[in-house]
Amino acid sequence: MTLLSILGVISSAIYSGTSLLYITLGEIVDQRSGIVNLGLEGLLLISGATGVAVTSITGNPFWGVLAAVAAGGLTNLILGFLVVTRRGNQLASGLALMFFGFGASALIGKSHVGQKINGLARFTIPGLGSLSPRYLSLLQFDLLIYLSIPCALLIWWLLFRTRWGLGVRAVGENADTAFASGRNPRLIKYQALFVGGMLAGLGAAHLTLAYTLNWTEFMMGGRGFIAVALVIFSKWHPVRAIAGALLFSGAVAFQLLLQASGVSISPFLLDTIPYILTILVLIAWGGTRKYSAPASLGRVYMGTE
Amino acid sequence: MPTEVERRRRPLFGGLDLSGALGRYASMLVLALGLFGLIIWINGKNPILSYRELFGSTLGSWYGFSEVLVAMTPMLITALAVALPSRIGLINVGVEGQLYMGACSATWGALTFSDAPAFILLPLLTLLGMLGGALWALVPGLLRAMGLVNETITTLLLNSVAPKLVAFFVFGFWHSPMDTNKTPNFVPAARLPTFFGTRIDFGLVIGLALLTIFWLVMKYTRWGLEMRAIGGNPEAALRNGVPLKAYIVGVLCAGGAIAGLAGMAQVSGYYGVLLTGFSRGVGFVGFLISWLSFGDPLGIVLTSFLVAVITTGGSMLQLTTALPYAIINILLAVALFVVLSGINLFPKRKSA
Amino acid sequence: MVFQTFNLIPAFTVAENIALFYPELKEVFDITQISKQIEVLSERYSLSVDPRALVRDLSIGDQQKVEILKLLISDARILILDEPTRVLVPHEIKALFKIIDNLRADGYAIVLITHKMNEVMEIADRVAVLRKGRLAGLLPIEDASEGLLVELMFGRKVAEFQGIKSAWVSVEVTPLLVLEAVSTQAQGTEVSLQNINLNIRPGEIVGITGVSGNGQRELADVVLGKLRPESGAITLNGEDISRYSIGSIRSRGVAFIPENPLWMAVAPFMTVLENFTVPNIRRYARLGGLRIDWQAARRDYAHSMEALEFEFPLLSPARSLSGGNLQRMVIARELAHQPKMIIASYLTSGLDVRSAIAGRMALVQARDQGAGVMLFSDDLDELFAISDRLIVLQGGRIMGEFKPADTTFQEIGYLMTGSEAEHAY
C-alpha cells in the first residue's frame, strides 16, 4: 500500500464525492424548505444529459455546466408546481418526476450516447508544481472540485446568516408561522427548489463533464437516492455534508484499496454500506431524530387562502 | 400516501361520485395524450400514427391484449403491497426492494429444490417469495412500531440495498455458466402455469384474488374496522384498545409479503430466470398506481390496466418511431403530473 | 396579538424566532444585535428569557414571554392577549399581570380575552362582553360584577352547579384501583412518575390536579395501559394489570374520556356508529373477526344515549359533530357498558358551559352507580364542586391529598407549583 495508491484512492474519492456533495447540498436546501424530492434521480439525469448535449454541440464544457445548472433549476420547478401550487403529495410527485427524468433524459441524450466530449480543465493549486509528475497527476482537480467546499460554506451562510435563509428554514419548520411573519411560504418554497435544483444540476454536470465524460441512459446509478440518505446522515447541515459525501463516496474508493491489498469483499456488498450506515445512524438517533429534521418536511402546505 | 381526508374528499370507484372521478380520468387522458403527442411531434414523428400504433397494437389484437395483461400482473400486486399498509397510514415505498428479496428467496428455492414436482415446488416458491418480502419489511416495521424511524425512509433505503444483495448472490453463487448476470433458467416445475399459449401467467389470478380478499377484509371484518380506525386516527385507536404496534408490524410485513409474491411471480412466471436488475421500477409504478387509486381495489385494477396499456404500447412505439423505449416514461410521468395537479377539464356542475 | 397557540418555531432559538418577526430585518443580519435588544426589553418589563435558548426547551410560561417580546420589538402599541392564563400557574399569572401593569403604565393598550371572571375583575379597566357575535355590554369595571357579567354572557342566569356528594363515602370499602409505589421512566418531554401511591374506591370521584404537564397525562396513561411502570404495581379489583395491554385493561371495565376527543378518542371520518364500536370490538366481533354484529352495537348505543339523554345521528361521520357534542358522544360511548373505572382527562376543557355541566353530571351519575372516577382537571371550581377527594400532582409526585371541604384554592395552588419561588415580581 504505497503513498501513491492511497493518494489515488483519495483522489478518486474526491472526484466522485464532489458531485455527490453538490447534489446533497441541493437536496438539503429543498428539504430545509420542507420538500422531499424523491425525483432527484430524474432531475440529475436531465441535467446530465443536457450538459453533455450542450457540451457536445458547442465544444465547450463551460456552456454545458451552465446548461445543466439551468436544467436542474427548471426541472425542480416542475416539482414545485405539483407540490406547492397544486398541493400534490410530495412522494408521488417526486416519483413521477423521476419517471419523467428517465424519459426526458433519454430523449435529450439519445444522439450523444457514447460520444466523447471535452471535459472540464484540470489543474493543480499553484505551489505544488515541484512534486513529481506521478503525484501531480493525482492532485489535478477541476474548478468545480475546488469550489465544492467553499460552496458548502456558502450554503451554510445562506441558510443561517441571511434573512432569506431564515425564511426558508422557517417555512420548513412551520409554514403557517412563516406566513404569520409576513412571508410568502409558496414563493419561498419555489425559490428553495430552484436553488436546490441548480445545485443538484451542478453535481450532475460535474459527474458527466469532469468525471465520466460521456452520457449513457440511467447513468446516475442511484445517486439521487444516495443523496437523500446523505441529507439525513448530515442532519440537514451543509457543512456536515462535506464529511458525509467523502465518507459515502469513499466506499467505492475503499473497494479499490481493499482489492489492492488482496482482500476481496464483493463490491455489491460494499455498495450497500452508505444505506446501512444511514439506517444505523437513524436508529442511533432514535426518537430524537425528529428534532433534527425540518418539522414540516413532507407536509403539504394548505395555506390560508 | 393520501390521507383519510383526501380519500373521502375525492371518492373514487367505491360506489360514489362517479362523474367527478370520470371527469378527472378523462382530463388525465386528454392532457397526457396531448402533451405526449406534442413531444412526439417535436421529435419529428407523426403523433396520430404513433397513437394508432400504440392503441392498435395493444387493444387491437388478442396478442397485444394478452401482453397488456402480462404487464399488468406485477403492477396489480405491487400496488396492493402499497395499498394495504396505506390503510393504516404507513407509506411503503420499499416495494421495489421487497420485490427483489421475494424474487431472491424464490430463486433460491427454485435452484435448490429443482427436483421437486410442480405441485410441491410452486407453493413452496410462493411461500418463500412471501417470506423474503415480509422479512425485508420486518425491520422497517419494527423500527416504526418502536417509534424510532419512519418507515418511509427505512423502506426507501432498503430499496437500494436489495438489488445489490441480489446481484451479490447471482454473481457469487447462482450465475449460469454462460452469463454472470443471471441464473440458469428455472426448471419447468418451477414455472407458474400460463394460459392459452400466451405469456399470461397464474400471477394474474393471484393478483385479482388478493385484491378481492383485500376488499372483503376491509369492508366486513373486525380487522378491517380496526385498520380503518388506525388510519383515521392512530392516537385514538391506540387509546381505544386497538393493538397498534402489532398492526404496524403485521400489516407492513403483509405488504412486504405481497410485494415478495410479486417478485416471485416475476421470476417464476414472467422471466423464468433471475436477472440482476430485472425490475425496471415496477415497485415504484405500483406505488404510484396505489396512490392514484387512493388504495381502492377496483381503482387499482383499472389504473393498472391503463398503465399497462401505456407501457406495452410503448415497446411497439419504439419499433415504429425509432424513439428510445425510455420515452414511454414521459407519457407515464405526464399522466401522473396531470392527476397529481388535480387539473380537471370536465368539472362537475355542482360544487361538492 | 398573542394567540392561544403560539406562533413559535420550536427548533429555533428565542432570538431567531424574534428575528423572524423582526420588522425590516436586514438581508444579512447579525443575531447578536437582536439578542441584545431582547435583553434590554426583558429587563424593562420583567420578561426574562435567554435569547440563545431553544424554544422547545422553554416552559409554556416562558414561551408566552417570547410571544410578548415579539410584539414589543415590532413596536406594536396595542397588544391583544387571547386567553393567556389558560396554561399558566397561579404565580405565573401574577407575574403576567405585573407585566401587563408595566406595559399599561408605559402607555400600551391591552386587550385581554378571557373567560375567567376573577381575572377580569382584577385587572381590567373596562369590560366588553361578547355574545353570539354581538357586543352584549361595555362597561367600566366599577359598574361590573361577576353575576352581571355572567348574565350578559348568557342572557339569563345559569343555575349554579351544585356538587352532589357521594353516598359511598365510607373508607371501609375495598379499593377498586390500587397504585402501589408506581414509578415510570420519562421519554423525551414526558414527566417521570415517582412513587405514586393511590387508591380509587368504587363510588368516588378523585380529582387530580396540578399545573398542566406535571404528570397528569402520564398517570392517566399508566392506568390505561399505554405506559408501563418501571417499578411498583397497579391492581384492578385485585388483579395485577401493570403489564396488560390497553385492550385487555379496557375489557376489564376501564373507560377513558380524553381531553380532546377529535385528537384522542375518535376517528373523524368514520361514522358515529363505527366510532362507538371500535373500543368494544371484542363484544361485537363474530366468527373470529370475520363479521361484525352491527345490530347488537346499535342496540347497546341506543340504550346508552337514552340513559344520558343525548341524541346523535349514528351514520354521520364523527367530524360533523361540534366539539361539545363530540365529547358527549365519547362520554355516551365510554359509559355505555357500565364501566367500573373511569379515567376522565380534562373532561370539560374547551367546552361551552352547558356541555361542561352535562359532562360533570354524567360523571356524577356514573359515580352514584358505583364507578370509581379519576378526574384530571385544572379547573379548581369544577374539582372542588364534584370531587370526593383531591390530589395534587407536581413533578410526577403526589404532593398532597385533601377533602375539598378542608382546603382552599390558595393551598392547592401553592402545592401545584412546588416550593421553588421562580422569579420575584
* Tens-level pLDDT at each residue, chain C (425 residues): 777 678 889 889 999 999 998 888 888 888 888 888 888 888 888 788 888 888 888 887 788 889 888 888 877 788 898 878 766 767 778 888 888 888 888 888 999 987 667 778 888 899 998 877 788 888 888 888 776 776 676 555 444 454 555 555 555 678 888 888 888 887 655 678 888 899 898 888 999 988 777 788 889 999 998 888 888 999 998 889 888 999 899 989 999 998 888 888 888 889 888 998 898 888 888 888 888 888 888 888 888 877 776 777 888 888 888 877 888 888 888 888 889 999 999 888 777 777 788 888 888 988 888 899 999 987 878 888 888 899 988 878 888 888 888 877 767 766 776 533 332 22
Any alpha helices (H) in chain B, and if so which ranges? 4-9, 18-42, 47-59, 62-86, 95-112, 118-145, 151-169, 203-220, 222-232, 234-239, 244-265, 282-292, 297-321, 328-340
Residue in A230, A264, A279 to test binding to B, most B beta-carbons within 10 Å: A279
How many contacts, defined by CB atoms under 8 Å, are there between B and C?
A: 82
Q: For residue range A51-102, list pLDDT tens digits in order.
A: 999 988 888 888 999 999 999 999 999 999 999 998 888 998 999 999 999 9
Average pLDDT value for residue range B158-167: 91
Task: Report the 10 Å Cβ neighbour count for C350.
Answer: 15
Q: Where are the domains of chain C?
A: 14-114, 177-417
> In the structure grid, which three cell numbers stand for residue B141, read together?
416495521
Residue from C20, C27, C57, C80 to probe the interface with A (highest A Cβ count within 10 Å)? C20
Alpha-helical (H) ranges within C124-160 are 146-154
Which residues of chain C does A169 touch, with a Cβ-Cβ cutoff of 8 Å? 12
* pLDDT-above-90 percentage for chain B: 35
CA C21 – CA B351 distance, rounded (Å): 39
For residue B215, pLDDT over 90 is answered with yes
How would you class A127 by CB atoms within 10 Å of its CB: exposed for 0-12, middle for 13-18, buried for 19 or more? exposed
Instruction: Name the residue of chain B whose CA is nearest to C283's CA.
Output: B222
- What are A173-217's pLDDT values in tens digits? 999 889 988 899 999 999 999 999 999 999 999 998 888 888 887
Cβ(C126)–Cβ(C141) below 8 Å: yes
Q: At what angle do helices B47-59 and B62-86 cross, to 10 degrees?
A: 90
Q: Is B3 within 8 Å of chain C by CB?
A: no
Residue numbers in C near A185 (CB within 8 A): none
Q: Is residue C20 within 8 Å of residue A179, measured between CB atoms?
A: no
Domain pair C14-114 / C177-417, same fold: yes
Selected from 3.30.70.1380, 3.40.50.300, 3.60.20.10, 1.20.1250.20, the CATH number assigned to the domain covering C14-114 reads 3.40.50.300
Nearest-5° Cα angle at C41, C40 to C43: 70
Cβ of C9 within 8 Å of Cβ of A167? The answer is no
Contact C9 A295 (CB under 8 A): yes
Q: What's the first-to-final CA gap in chain A, in angstroms?
A: 65
Q: What is the pLDDT of residue C171?
A: 58
Rg (CA), chain C: 24
**pLDDT recorded at residue B237:** 92
Residue C384 is predicted with a pLDDT of: 85
Would you tell me which residues 192-231 of chain B have a C-beta closer than 8 angstroms to some C-beta of chain A? none
- Exposure of A272 in the CB half-sphere (CA atoms within 13 A): 20
pLDDT, residue C264, reads 85
Handedness of CA A270, A274, A279, A285 (dihedral sign): positive
- Using a CB-CB cut-off of 8 Å, the residues of chain C touching B250 are none
- Tell me if A286 and B148 make a contact (CB, 8 A cut-off): yes
**Per the CB < 8 Å rule, is C278 touching B229?**
yes
Query: Which of C7, C20, C56 lies at the smallest CB-CB distance from A166?
Result: C20
**Interatomic CA distance for residues B100 and B262, integer angstroms:** 9
- pLDDT(B133) > 80: yes
The pLDDT value recorded for residue C150 is 65
**Alpha carbon of C247: minimum distance to chain B alpha carbons (Å):** 4
Q: Do B229 and C274 touch (CB under 8 A)?
A: yes
Chain B residues 190-229 within an 8 A CB cutoff of chain C? 220-223, 225-226, 228-229
Q: C247 and chain B: CB distance < 8 Å anywhere?
A: yes
- CATH code of the domain made up of A3-291: 1.10.3470
Maximum separation of any 2 CA atoms in chain B, in Å: 66
Which has the closest alpha carbon to A175: A86, A91, A84?
Answer: A84
DSSP C208: E
Residue of C nearest to B226 (CA): C278
Q: What is the pLDDT of residue C74?
A: 79
Minimal C-alpha gap between C73 and chain A (Å): 13
| C51: Cβ contacts below 8 Å, ≥ 6 apart | C13, C14, C15, C18, C34, C35, C38, C39
B216: closest chain C residue by CA:
C290
User: Span A224-247, mean pLDDT?
Assistant: 90
Q: Tell me which chain B residues have a C-beta less than 8 angstroms from the C-beta of A107.
A: 39, 43, 323-324, 326-327, 330
Distance, CA of B142 to chain centre: 23
Neighbours of A108 (CB within 10 A): 21
Residue B161 forms contact with A (CB below 8 Å):
yes
- Inter-chain touch C188–A161, beta carbons under 8 Å: no
Q: What is the nearest CA distance from A178 to chain B, expressed in angstroms? A: 24
pLDDT: is C203 or A258 the higher one? C203
Task: Tell me which of A180-189, B49-58, B282-291 is least confident.
Answer: B49-58
CB-CB contact of C364 with C386 (8 Å): yes
B338 min Cα distance to partner chain A (Å) = 9
Q: Which amino acid is at C79?
A: L
CA pseudo-torsion sign B97, B98, B103, B109:
positive
Cα distances (Å, whole numbers) of residue A240 to A232, A236, A245, B153, C425 = 10, 8, 9, 20, 45
**pLDDT tens for each residue of B10-37:** 433 333 444 566 666 677 777 777 777 7
User: pLDDT digit string (tens) for A99-109?
Assistant: 999 989 988 88
CB distance from B317 to chain A under 8 Å?
no
Nearest CA in chain A to C22: A181
Residue B254's closest CA among B148, B97, B133, B128?
Answer: B133
Q: What is the distance in angstroms between the Cα of A163 and the nearest Cα belonging to chain C? A: 5
State the pLDDT at residue B171.
84
Give the range with max mean pLDDT: A279-293, B76-90, B155-169.
B76-90
Contact B171 A106 (CB under 8 A): no
pTM, full prediction: 0.81
Of C16, C27, C187, which has the smallest distance from its Cβ to A162's Cβ?
C27
C29 contacts C19 by C-beta, under 8 angstroms: yes
Predicted local confidence at residue B226, as pLDDT: 93
Interfacial A residues in 144-183 facing C (CB < 8 Å): 161-164, 166-167, 169-170, 173-174, 176-178, 180-182
pLDDT for B292 beyond 70: yes
A134 CA to chain B: closest CA distance, Å?
Answer: 35
Residue of A nearest to B341 (CA): A86
The CATH topology of domain B61-322 is ABC transporter involved in vitamin B12 uptake, BtuC (1.10.3470)
Query: CB distance from A237 to chain C under 8 Å?
Result: no
Backbone angles phi, psi at B201, to 5 degrees: -110, 175
pLDDT in tens, B245-265: 999 999 999 999 999 999 999
Residues in B touching A91 (Cβ below 8 Å): 1, 91, 93, 152, 287, 291
Question: Could you tell me the residue ranges of all domains in chain A?
Answer: 3-291
Contact C157, C125 (CB under 8 A): no
Assign B111 a pLDDT band (cuts: 50, 70, 90).
Answer: confident
The answer to whether residue B332 neighbours chain A at the CB level (below 8 Å) is yes
Tell me whether residues B229 and C290 touch, CB distance under 8 A: no
User: Residue type for C174, please?
Assistant: T
CB contact under 8 A, C263 and B236: yes
**Nearest CA-CA partner of B41 in B293, B236, B289, B323:** B323
Mark yes or no for CB contact A181/C21 under 8 Å.
Answer: yes
**To the nearest whole percent, how much of chain B has pLDDT over 70?**
88
- Does the distance separating the beta carbons of C292 and B233 come in below 8 Å? no
Alpha-carbon distances of C97 from A263, B203, B254, C50, C412, rounded to whole Å: 73, 72, 58, 21, 20
B336·A96 Cβ contact <8 A:
yes
d(CA B155, CA B256): 10
**Cα dihedral sign, C411-C413-C418-C419:** negative
A51-60 tens-digit pLDDT: 999 988 888 8
Query: pLDDT value at position A78?
Result: 94
Query: All 3 cell numbers of residue B235?
Result: 392516537
Determine the longest span between alpha carbons in chain C, in angstroms.
73
Chain A neighbours among B 58-77 (CB < 8 Å)? Answer: none
Q: Do C269 and B4 touch (CB under 8 A)?
A: yes
Find the residue in C nearest to B237 (Cα). Answer: C265
Which chains pack against C, by 3+ Cβ pairs within 8 A? A, B
The nearest CA of chain C is from the CA of A136 a distance in Å of: 41
C177-417 is classed CATH 3.90.850.10: no
Residue B8: pLDDT band (50, 70, 90) is very low
Look at residue C91 in the predicted model and tell me its pLDDT: 73
Q: How far apart are CA A38 and CA B311, in angstroms?
A: 22
Contacts of C249 in chain B (CB under 8 A): 241
pLDDT of amino acid C33: 86
Distance CA C374, CA C177 (A): 10
Closest partner CB to A102 (pick from B2, B159, B329): B329
DSSP letter, residue B193: P
Among positive and negative, which fits the CA dihedral A169, A172, A174, A179?
A: positive
Cα of C270 to nearest chain B Cα, Å:
7
